[in-house]
Each structure stands twice: as structure tokens, then as C-alpha cells.
Copies of this chain bind each other. A is one copy, B any other.
Amino acid sequence: MGAFFGAVSRRDVVLDVFFGVDYHSHLGTRRAGMVSCLPEGGFKKEIHSIENTPFRTRFDHDLPGFRGTCAMGCISDMDPQPLLVRSHLGVYAISVVGNITNFDALVDELTSAGAQFMALSSGNVNMCELVAALVNSQGNLLDGIRYAQEKIEGSLTLLIMCEDGHLVAARDRMGRLPVLVGKDDDGYCVSFESFAYGKLGYADEHELGPGEIVRIGPDGYEVLAKPCDRMRVCAFLWVYYGYPNSNYEGVNVEVMRYRNGRIMARREEVEGTLPEVDYVAGVPDSGLPHGLGFAMQTGQTFARPFVKYTPTWPRSFMPTNQAIRNRVAKMKQIPVPELIDGKRLLLVDDSIVRGTQLRETVDFLYNTGAREVHMRSACPPIMYGCKYLSFSRSNSDYELIARRKIKELEPDGGEDHIAEYADDTTERGRCLLRSICEEMGFDSLRYQSLDGLLEAIGLDRDRVCTYCWDGRE
């Protein structure tokens, strides 16, 4: 996904930005960058790969070169960021997060009109440079950002650092991702994750609304463009992406997950589908609090039958050697055989996308001697591939296990009944459950309902993006 963090202050903010960016490391695995406005003019900028080396280790040795009261950085799953751009709007640094579905069309439109881009090794264009070109096509920064927001299909959240030491942040038009402003005695910061600045001593100051654009200096922030009314914040921020400590739209991730698990369990208690098990468990990492909530509700014993090995496996390590790469994938989850062998387990995962990884987990549990494996998904069946944040990057919706099963069950016309399939109170819904259960080898399977999920989030249904589940844009 990616994320950014920036700060502007009356004091040097380099360490704040260093730690602030580091605290977003869970949101990306490929690249990271930092840039500061140097007191003597000009910028200091570094971009590194973080595929095999953590952000902190990578940037530690660069720190002496960074100085300044205004700085920003980012974690990126895509192209090198942030970029420095020079145009009639001056010189500025820019970092963007999101997904541009009309990318090629925009590049063609701009090059046909005479624009040039620096090309990536692939020949492609850096997403940041494209967004900058849209911004620079207008008479001033505000109009430029608005123009970019309009032209871009998908989603666009951005942070700009001007050479005069101000930050300009713009949240996606539909507010799909969060942007928050924090404040301390000396200045302000901009962040994706609230805990990142909380831990650095900043207090909550302002959460941008959808499409809102703010200009931030050491003495305050100014709203350049007011938020729009419509919002569609990504529900997966709570279900999967977010760090337990994060709050989005005022709702804490860990607390939401406990509540979500409880709602799931309560419904099963009511409907009498709760299986008798030895342990309730959550699939690490994000499934754990969903599972804990579930167990707290039912009073069943919670345990950790497998534990993620973290000391040197912090992220998607990509060894240079192919033989190793093949083995690495299976090395993170480590079983506690005593908690599996001969036991009946109820497992809560955050979601079931393609089902391939879960299949391996379940096989592994049975091989370790599990007597029963009951599966629970903390969100409804995923029916549509995400086109806003590329959460479920897939070439086709048929890679999604639910959609593939519907196609199998009802090759002709099954797609006209997706909503029904997603509802396990209908015959089609129960049929889908049984079919997945069988393929995956679960003893039982249930999904959280969309209503239950929205209740757990606690926001108005219209303000949350539910596209993955119901196709609502």
C-alpha cells in the first residue's frame, strides 16, 4: 500500500520523520525515502530498497546528512519516492499513495501534449512524476492538486513539501485512506497512522476529511480545500491493514477487532452454530484480536497454536537465491504441537481471499494432528477485486475463491446472484459455505456478515467502502 509521514517545526525534525516513517513500515515492503529542506537551501534526499533490510538499518547511516525544520518520508510498494520536482510552481518534494487505474491514458495524454517524463528501467513512468505533471499543469498548487484529484481514477493521497518549508497534504477525494495532523509545542506533523505521532509526543490535532487539502507550517495549518461530503473509507484498514494502535475516523483498530470477534461469536451463540472446541485461535497477526474477541465472548479457551517467528523475519525478506526464496514462504508460522495434536480448533482469520495460503495452514494443522479445524473469517466473502488500493491484486475476480466457487456451482447466471451468495441465510449462501468448506477441508466455516462488520467499525454505512463485498462503488 504505502504511506507517508512529514513534519514541520521550529526545531529540527529529522529524527521525528525518521521514526515516524519507520512506524509505517508495516504498510509496504519495497522502497522507502526521506527528504528534508536543508537550512542552507536545497534538499537532502535518499531512497533505498527495504526488501531485505529494515528501514531503520537502511537509513541509519544517512541520518547525519539530513537536517532541517521541514522534512518528510515515505514507505512505498511501488516506484522510488519521494521525488523532487521543479516547475513554474517552484521546487517541491512529492510523495503519493493510492492506485491510478487510468495511468496509461494519462501518460499518453500528457506526452501527446508535449510533456516529458523520466522513464523507469521498465520504460514506465513514476507515479509521483505523473501526479506532479497533473499538478503542474495548473496555475497554482491548490488548483493543481484538485485537478489531479479529478483526473485520476482510483485513489490519490499525497504529501508535498515546498522549498519554503511548508507541507501540503491532500487526502483522497473519497477519503479511502487516512491523513492525520498532529501537533506538539514546536510544530506539526502529518501521518497515516495516529500512533506514529502519538509515540513521538504529538497530540491529535485534525483528521482530514475526504478530498481535504491543508497547508501546514510550524505555526499552524490552513485548510486550502474543504472536505467533500461523500466518504468511502477503506474497511480493510480495520480488518487487516491497520496497526493495533491506530485510530482511523476515531475508531481504534484493536478495539474494533475485539468487537468484531464478539459480534461474530454472539451471532453464532444466538444461531446455535458455535462448535465445541478446545481452543479458539487467531491467525497471526491481524486475525489474533478478532479471535481474542471471539473467545472472550464465548468463554472458550484462547490459545496460540502457532506463533510467528519475528526476530529476523520482520517483513517479506526476498533472498537473492531462488532455492531459499522457495523455503522462506513457509518458515514464518511455527506450530506448538502440544496445542494442536488431538485438539479441536476454531481459527479466526481476517479474511479469505484466494484461499491458497489458508489451505496450507489447514493442511499443516491436520498434519500436526488437529482433530477438528473450524474456520471463521472476520469479514464477509470477498466478491470483487479492489480497484482503489489494490488490496487484492488480481488479474481476474475468478482468482477470488468465493467467485470461483460461484462459477463452479452455477456456471450460467450465478453472477446475477452474488448478493445472495454473500448472505448465508439464503440457500445459495449456505451452498457457497458448504462448497468452500469442502474444498478447504474445514469442519465448519462462517463469515462475518457485512452488517456485523459495519457494527464493529461503528461508522455510518455510507461512509465506509464495501466494494470488495457488495460491489458498491
* Chain A interface residues (CB < 8 Å from chain B): 15, 18-19, 22-23, 25-26, 41-45, 52-57, 60-61, 63-64, 83-88, 91, 107, 111-112, 114-125, 129, 132-133, 136-137, 163, 195, 198-199, 243-245, 247, 252, 254-255, 258, 289, 292, 296, 299, 301-304, 306-307, 309-315, 317, 319-321, 323-324, 327, 331, 334-339
Contacts and interface: CB of A to CB of B under 8 A. Distances in A.
A244 B336 contact: yes
A184 to B, nearest CB: 14
Nearest to A132: B116
Nearest to A52: B57
A25 B292 CA distance: 28
A379 to B, nearest CB: 21
8 contacts: A25-B312, A41-B123, A42-B123, A60-B324, A84-B118, A86-B124, A114-B114, A245-B306
A258 B303 contact: yes
Contacts of A334: 195, 198-199, 243, 245
Nearest to A64: B321
Contact of A119 (B63, B86, B312, B337): B86
B122 A42 contact: yes
A23 B309 contact: yes
Given A254-B336, A255-B338, A327-B15, A136 B116 contact: yes
Contacts of A324: 15, 18, 60, 63
A307 B292 CA distance: 14
B86 A114 contact: no
A246 to B, nearest CB: 9
Contact of A311 (B54, B124, B301, B303): B54
A296 B278 CA distance: 12
B45 A121 contact: yes
A304 B116 contact: no
B299 A302 contact: no
A312 B18 CA distance: 12
Nearest to A306: B245
Contacts of A310: 310, 314
Contacts of A26: 311
B53 A336 contact: no
A33 to B, nearest CB: 13
Contacts of A312: 22, 25, 54-57, 314-315
Given A15-B327, A61-B320, A111 B123 contact: no
Nearest to A136: B116
Contacts of A319: 56, 60, 63
A74 to B, nearest CB: 14
A394 to B, nearest CB: 24
Contact of A244 (B84, B125, B137, B307): B307
- 4 tightest Cβ-Cβ pairs between the two chains A and B: A54-B312, A25-B311, A84-B119, A86-B119
A89 B317 CA distance: 38
A141 to B, nearest CB: 13
A66 to B, nearest CB: 11
Contacts of A18: 324
B311 A289 contact: no
A52 to B, nearest CB: 5
A243 B323 CA distance: 26
Contacts of A61: 320
Given A129-B118, A324-B15, A327-B15, A111 B88 contact: yes
Given A64-B321, A255-B339, A304-B289, A133 B116 contact: yes
Given A56-B312, A114-B114, 7 more contacts: A53-B57, A56-B319, A86-B107, A86-B119, A245-B334, A255-B338, A289-B304
